[in-house]
Structure 1
Amino acid sequence: MQLHNTKGIVLRTVKYGDTSIITTIYTELFGVQSYIVKGARQAAKGKQGKAVYFQAATILDMAVYHNEQKHLQFIKEYHLAYPYQAIQADVVKNCVSMYIVEVLQHTLKQPEANPDLFYLIENTLQQVDKGSNALTANLPLYFMLHLGNQLGFQVQGNYSLATPYLDLAEGFFVPETPNHAYYLTDELAMLTSQINNIVYYTDLENIKLNRQVRIQLLEAYGQYLSLHITDFGILKTLPVLHEILG
């Protein structure tokens, strides 16, 4: 097997045997891959075990062996590509990062590489770590819309007096009420248009949302993803995110 250098973002990790783990990682080169890391749960005296590197949302630099014919791959070397400064200790930032990871768990089901999507995830998690409270609170909304963009069902058009409805099933701003229940209008459609057109993360700080509006948007964007992703399912971290972001 050939050795490759790639970045990866940890999505989930489970125990394997007495001392090892199996970790699912979204990689820059190969998309979603599962790796066995032998002895990761063994800790030398006075030191942490290597399993600490495989907590959800961790961004790694890795040297990996890759064989397309196998479901389990092997990691030769790994280290932190971006050591978090705040996510582990800040309750809000940790909750937002876990929500993003759960969205990815429900979304990324095929081992297909998509470097632009990888960079979106990487940049978003870094912004969660170092961003202001206002930016952090709005990042899940930005991420869900732009995740759809990367997966091929981008929201098209803009909110205006001529197109005041966002049809979530079709992904278009339209002039008339859609003939189904999956649409936004008025303030929610206008805010979605603003968030969808943001170029710089810091612009998220200028979007002021109250608790009720943020909850409505989070639920609508979850519905948007579920309409376009087969078996998307229910996000368990969503009620926690509602509570934490207030």
Structure 2
Amino acid sequence: MIHATKGIVLRTVKYGDTSVITTVYTELFGVQSYIVKGVRQSSKTSAGKAVYFQPAAILEMEVYHNELKQLQFVKEFQWAYLYERLLFDVLRNAVAMYVIELLQHSLKQPEANPELFYLIEDTLKQLDKGSDTLVANLPLYFILHLGSELGFQMQGTYHAQTPVLDLQEGIFILEKPAHPYYIAGQLAQIAGQLLSLQFYNDLDHISLNRQIRRELLQAFQTYIALHVADFGEMRSLGVLQEVLS
């Protein structure tokens, strides 16, 4: 059957002489792999179409879907959102590529999760149009909400009785745990502040220096890695930290 769905491109590789295989997080079906035929041809009808399948692209697609097959087919596609700055601005692009790689490592099953799709879509749009401060803080906000959508939301709040954030258990506690996966003091306080935010625009009002942002990003990534089996190593983390510095 043919279905209309939005999709966010996660990865694309060449296939044959003229086609691509693209991995897309779709609104209707979760993570799916598609063959897109002819988009690498040099003909008038195909020239430039491969650009639609670069990572972070947000598309409207008509797709064939058969649950018994691992590879599906795309019938039609067009932009669902056309970026103004994300693809050309170094900071915004670095954050977007980090978000996309984080999803590549975190999404292990194909099941649909519309709320997660909307989180990813909104995050990428905010990266495109938000202020530099919002963009710099957005990876921290996104990781916390990604954990929540994947089923391991952090619990509790930061205060004098719970000044330590246990990353392994995902909860604010009184004393440092026996394992090394925790943050305390100012880092835990800022984590609590980020967890309390309701809107992207609130990120404009959080001022972090380079070292604090670097340590928090590493801590939050550790939190995700502790809860996702076979998470692996993030290659874009170093690039993002360098750009944010």
Same fold (TM over 0.5): yes
Q: Name the structure 2 match of 1:72.
A: 71
Q: 2:63·2:76 contact (CA, 8 Å) conserved in 1?
A: yes
Percent of aligned pairs sharing the same letter: 61
CA drift at 1:48: 3.3
Q: Name the structure 2 match of 1:220.
A: 219
- Secondary structure, aligned partner of 2:85: coil
- Secondary structure, aligned partner of 2:81: coil
Give matches, 1:54-69, under 5 Å: 54-69=53-68
Q: Distance in 1 between matches of 2:202 and 2:23?
A: 32
TM-score, length basis structure 2: 0.98
CA RMSD in angstroms, aligned pairs only: 1.0
Structure 1, residues 123-143: CA drift from partner, whole Å, max 9, x if none?
A: 000000000000000000000
Structure 2 unmatched ranges of 5 or more: none
Q: Distance in 2 between matches of 1:102 and 1:47?
A: 28
Structure 1, residues 85-113: CA drift from partner, whole Å, max 9, x if none?
A: 00111111011100000000001121100
Q: 1:43·1:50 contact (CA, 8 Å) conserved in 2?
A: no
Amino acid at match of 1:225: I
Q: Name the structure 2 match of 1:20.
A: 19
C-alpha spacing 1:97/1:64, structure 2 compared with 1 (3 Å)? same
Q: Name the structure 2 match of 1:133.
A: 132
Q: Distance in 2 between matches of 1:203 and 1:194?
A: 10
Whether 1:239 and 2:238 are equivalent positions in the alignment is yes
Aligned residues: 245
Q: Distance in 2 between matches of 1:170 and 1:60?
A: 37
Q: Name the structure 2 match of 1:92.
A: 91
Whether 1:202 and 2:201 are equivalent positions in the alignment is yes
Q: Distance in 1 between matches of 2:59 and 2:48?
A: 16
Q: Distance in 2 between matches of 1:238 and 1:50?
A: 30
Q: Distance in 1 between matches of 2:175 and 2:44?
A: 67
Q: Distance in 2 between matches of 1:207 and 1:115?
A: 29
Q: Distance in 1 between matches of 2:63 and 2:204?
A: 38
Q: 2:38·2:46 contact (CA, 8 Å) conserved in 1?
A: no
CA drift at 1:47: 7.2
Q: Name the structure 2 match of 1:81.
A: 80
CA drift at 1:44: 2.4
Amino acid at match of 1:214: R
CA drift at 1:43: 2.7
Q: Name the structure 2 match of 1:170.
A: 169
Q: Name the structure 2 match of 1:35.
A: 34
Amino acid at match of 1:190: Q
Amino acid at match of 1:168: L
Q: 1:6·1:27 contact (CA, 8 Å) conserved in 2?
A: yes
- Secondary structure, aligned partner of 2:177: coil
Moved over 6 A (4+): none
Whether 1:230 and 2:215 are equivalent positions in the alignment is no
Q: Distance in 2 between matches of 1:194 and 1:48?
A: 48
Structure 1 unmatched ranges of 5 or more: none
TM-score, length basis structure 1: 0.98
Q: 2:92·2:135 contact (CA, 8 Å) conserved in 1?
A: yes
CA drift at 1:49: 2.7
Structure 1, residues 121-178: CA drift from partner, whole Å, max 9, x if none?
A: 0000000000000000000000001000000100101100000000000000011111
Structure 1, residues 30-85: CA drift from partner, whole Å, max 9, x if none?
A: 00000001111013259733111000000001111100000000111110000000
CA drift at 1:197: 1.2
CA drift at 1:179: 1.3
